[in-house]
Structure 1
Amino acid sequence: MDINNAFLHGDLNEEVYMVLPPGFQSEKPNQVCRLLRSLYGLKQASRQWNAKLSTTLVHNGFKQSRHDSSLFTKGTGANFIALLVYVDDILVACANMEPIQQLKLFLDSTFKIKDLGSLGYFLGIEAKAKADGLNICQRKYALDILKEAGFLGCKPANTPMVHGLKLSQGDGVPLDDVGCYRRLIGRLLYLTATRPDITFAVQQLSQFIDAPTDKHLSAAHRVLRYIKKSPGHGIFYPANMDMQLKVFSDLDWAACFETRRSITGYCIFLGPALISWRSKKHVTVSRSSSEAEYRALAATVCEVQWLTYILHDLQVELNRPATVFCDNKSAIAIAENHVFHERTKHIDIDCHIVREKQSQGLIKLLSVSSSNQTADGFTKPLPVDPI
């Protein structure tokens, strides 16, 4: 559903004045208007609208999540209802239609809403619910990117990035129109919401938006050619699945040959469904591959902890610890060893959240071979066939 004129519902807590509207006849010069309600264009408008909506939902019996302020929940069992807010767009989920109808009537009497019906298209994401599960993709959004870039008729590529390609700052001829590159990368970043397969390539390309070159643009065009091969590719979430978190954490040590920083990649599955993934360069340089892998594990465990909180808000209880797979046995040994020694005493204390969460039973660390490391594609460009 969508809220009509959402920002006009916000209440102002401070005095705000505006110049008289054009055409308004005033007998006295230099008069201004004092606003009693929010208007579009005010810096306070979005914040005041969010506060008004949150307060209204809480007074109606909803509970706002402490871990994601855009999530509201209410009820239990078949009448459990979850509500997700993005500015003035609202997504509601419930096993029973009666609570949804009651919520619609309440919001319509309070704000006036536009009922958009069952979930089909939301914020550029296409959703198709069937008896066996939910499929989401961004086919229209991907085709719009290809059309804008002039790649609708291009030759498809099998991979989003050439295997072994290393991009660097200032490598190539600077672009005359940097805005074109920036717009393209910005749109590709949003496409990663349903396309984890291009996450690493987009992460690499986004590092050069300040001064892109022709080589960076050529690598971005390779991503477009890869998207052209399957623009409707997305993610499928089965209806009935095992509520068990399976996590893969990987790292490419000192991958950036300019800064010698490592790249972390992880992917988290709830049963067979992929629900979280990331590719990110470290903010510090690690002295060893073991230290780098351990830092990658720390970032992954923090994400697992947050997802556990969110699942708890959604009344999904995990009966078993999250299984975390790592292909570095020394990093696993550091997490399991409760004694500091020469090789680990320089690691920041906050990294030892891995050890703490393992002792609490939140996670269970297991070793996995590099050939079976699912998160490998989030740390480096892979070939079509495994090597």
Structure 2
Amino acid sequence: MSTIIITGGDAGAVTRFKTQMKNTFCMSDLGLLSYYLGLEVTQGAHGITLWQGAYATKILEKAGLAACNPSATPMEMKLKLLKEGSTPSVDATEYRSLIGSLRYLCNSRPNLAYAVGYLGRFMEAPCQEHLVAVKRVLRYVAAMLHWGVHYHPGGKNGAALKLLGYSDQCYHKR
């Protein structure tokens, strides 16, 4: 079974395309997208909101941080880590798995991108201090589990749409 996601700004064009596809292929219309590959979607007149609350909860459970104390920031300011850490090594497979999961979470949480990218540099031989920093990011995720990114229509009277990006300021609580 395959899935195709159809999107567009013109509802009539989307409907015509769906009709053409149904005439060519055996397919069914599942309606508005609400969940796909861990990405939760809410669509309405005020725009589209994407979040990954259930996925984030699974990551926290996998890391043993489901009931952790949340953090207000993803990283300590001016955090400096070295590849050759001064603490004992940790399970590299577990570390890589957490970093990979956090990278996917960046789809709806772009404010994690810097911290996750920085901590991804240490996947070859992670130490305890690297894992502590990853757990800080996870505690930040726990603080805002049901937050995501909201895209709203902006073009009025034929004005061009602008895509603006902010970190933290653009989040919309579900």
TM-score, length of structure 2 as denominator length: 0.82
Long gaps (5+) in structure 1? 7-87, 246-269, 275-373, 376-387
Corresponding residue for residue 153 of structure 1: 67
User: More strand per residue: 1 or 2?
Assistant: 1
Corresponding residue for residue 10 of structure 2: 95
Corresponding residue for residue 164 of structure 1: 78
SS at match of 2:126: coil
Contact 2:154 2:161 in 1 (8 A): no
Corresponding residue for residue 128 of structure 1: 42
Identity %: 35
Question: Which of 122, 132, 146 is equivalent to 1:208?
Answer: 122
Q: Report deviation, 1:137.
A: 1.3
User: After TM superposition, where is structure 1 displaced by more than 6 Å over at least 4 residues in a row?
Assistant: none
Corresponding residue for residue 151 of structure 2: 237
Corresponding residue for residue 174 of structure 1: 89
Query: For the aligned residues, what is the CA RMSD?
Result: 2.2
Letter in 1 for 2:43: A
Long gaps (5+) in structure 2? 168-174
Contact 2:34 2:41 in 1 (8 A): yes
Change in 2 beyond 3 A, CA 1:199/1:112: same
Greater relative contact order: 1 or 2 (C-alpha under 8 angstroms, separation 6 or more)?
2
Figure out how many residues of one structure are paired with residues of the other and give that number.
163
Q: Report deviation, 1:219.
A: 0.4
CA–CA distance in structure 2, aligned partners of residues 240 and 201 of structure 1: 30
Q: Report deviation, 1:113.
A: 2.6
Corresponding residue for residue 171 of structure 2: none
Question: Which of 113, 130, 142 is equivalent to 1:228?
Answer: 142
CA–CA distance in structure 1, aligned partners of residues 31 and 89 of structure 2: 48
Letter in 1 for 2:150: F
SS at match of 1:156: coil
Computing the radius of gyration from Cα coordinates, the structure with the larger value is: 1
CA–CA distance in structure 1, aligned partners of residues 44 and 79 of structure 2: 40
**Cα deviation digits, residues 242-272 of structure 1 (max 9, x gap):** 6465xxxxxxxxxxxxxxxxxxxxxxxx2xx
TM-score, length of structure 1 as denominator length: 0.39
Contact 1:132 1:240 in 2 (8 A): no
Contact 2:6 2:14 in 1 (8 A): no
CA–CA distance in structure 1, aligned partners of residues 17 and 161 of structure 2: 31
Question: Which of 6, 9, 31 is equivalent to 1:117?
Answer: 31
